[in-house]
Amino acid sequence: MQPQTSMSFMQRSIIITGISTLAFLPSAHAKRGNRLRTAAASDARSGSDTSGNAVLIPLQRMPARADHDGSKHHDASFYVGNITVGEPPQHLQVFFDTGSGHVLLPHMACKNRSCTEHVRYSPWASSSAMDVNANGSPVQEGSRLAKGRVRRTFATMDFTQADLGDGVAKGVLVRDHVCLSAGPEHHTSHLACADLAVLAALQEDAMPFESMPADGIIGLGLEGLSVSAFSNFYSRLMDNSHDVLPEFGMLLGETSGTILFGGRASVDNVAAPLEWFPVLRPHEGFWQFEIVQVRVNGMVVEQCQHGCRAVVDSGSSHLGVQSDRQESILNSLQSALFSDGKCNGPDLQIDLPRGLTLTLAARDYSDASCAVQLGALKLHEPQPRGVLFSLGTNVIRRYYTAFDWQAARIGFAPNEGSAPLDSNAHASAALNELVVF
């Protein structure tokens, strides 16, 4: 069985390429609303939370689509939820991505197959839509949507999806309501809405967008990953929200999950209290934190002499490590498939500050055939000294993960059946040996 040998660094960046001349169809004028609306929806607020005002969005785990040449992306999956955009509501499905900082939706004018095979967003069908530039100013004074030939901001988003590959989306900025929804089109309740600038793609590359099961992406990275705070979904969601916890969290299972906005999972859902870790270099926009060392069955395989850090990437299914460290860790993680269908292999232990550890079993870092899934991160930009890891949804399935927007910190608590975080406290004195492969 061959391990996964490569994956790209999950950085997503957006470039404003300046002013371009584009043609748009005329549309009718309509009064637009610009307030953030938070409407309680009792049918979606099952369970308890710490604030009483949390919005709970159900997620379904969906496999990546096969390419048109028939090739499949084995074991790549996304946790997909529902949103509505504009007035009247247009229903779309999205995945929530902690590794990017924009709302990306296919524009109705996009004719690429990667757009037409998904539900597209139509500004012309929304009475609350407004064409805007990067600074939030209207593209055309006196007209809600641009008419004729106009000069406006044109944005290019370089998107690297760890499981599917690299691609580019190009489009325009449209200000509209983006609302969290309890379910698909037959659900009419809007749980919370943000008024922000959406990147509406007029062109999407086949890779990775064709294979995504969702129509679009809600980026949940910090503001450093966004063109401006006005383009950042969570920043806009919190701007006019009161008496809610400035925090979101992900609780994922094998086939479904929940993302919580403005609250925290109840103690019934997790096995221990949250342990918090500060975000490193929050100005960069990534939810990244310190790693002390990495062990395999108690033996140190990465000593982190110059420091290590991990980025939580909910848009990826697997683990990743920068390419010059991949081979040594892979050699220590060989697993085998037992006759009962279970993976047999060593535990992977990611040691954190304060004597705490995230522990993954062989089934967590292997695919259905028990091949190890550890990608080599291709770093596109100069990086600080140290070793970079990325933690995908395979880690979030084991540990409820909370993202504190205000304090810039990340919290972990073991889900039911997962190892506690304090499992390395008693063993630290015995783990001085570094294993070299």
Question: What pLDDT was estimated at residue 48?
Answer: 37
- DSSP assignment, residue 433? P
Residue 88: which residues within 8 A CB-CB, separation 6 or more? Answer: 125, 126, 127
The band of 75, judged by pLDDT with boundaries at 50, 70 and 90, is confident
Q: Evaluate if residue 9 carries a pLDDT over 50.
A: no
Q: Report which of residues 386 and 270 the model is more confident about.
A: 386
Segment 103-127 shows an average pLDDT of 96
Helix/strand/coil for 56: strand
What does the alpha-carbon distance between residue 63 and residue 72 come to, in Å, rounded to a whole number? Answer: 10
pLDDT(3) > 60: no
CB 287 within 8 A of CB 434: no
Query: Over the stretch 177-206, which tens digit does the pLDDT of each residue have?
Result: 999 987 766 555 567 899 999 999 999 988
Q: Where is pLDDT greater, at 256 or 369?
A: 256
Q: pTM for this structure?
A: 0.85
| Confidence check: pLDDT of 7 > 60 | no
Q: What is the dihedral of CA 232, 237, 238, 240, to 10 degrees?
A: 120
d(CA 197, CA 40): 24
- Residue 185 pLDDT: 61
pLDDT at position 113 is 92
Average pLDDT over residues 346-375: 92
Please give the single-letter amino acid code of residue 380. Answer: H
Burial class for 91, CB neighbours closer than 10 Å (0-12, 13-18, 19+): middle
CB 101 within 8 A of CB 283: no
- pLDDT on residue 341: 75
pLDDT exceeding 90 applies to what percent of the chain? 51
Note whether 191 and 36 are within 8 A (CB): no
The CA distance from 80 to 73, in Å, is: 17
Q: How confident is the prediction for the chain on average, in pLDDT?
A: 81
Amino acid code (one letter) for 175? R
* Average pLDDT over every residue of 60-84: 82
- Which residues does 407 contact at the CB level (< 8 Å), separation at least 6? none
Residue 401's region, left for phi above 0, alpha for psi from -120 to 50, else beta, is beta
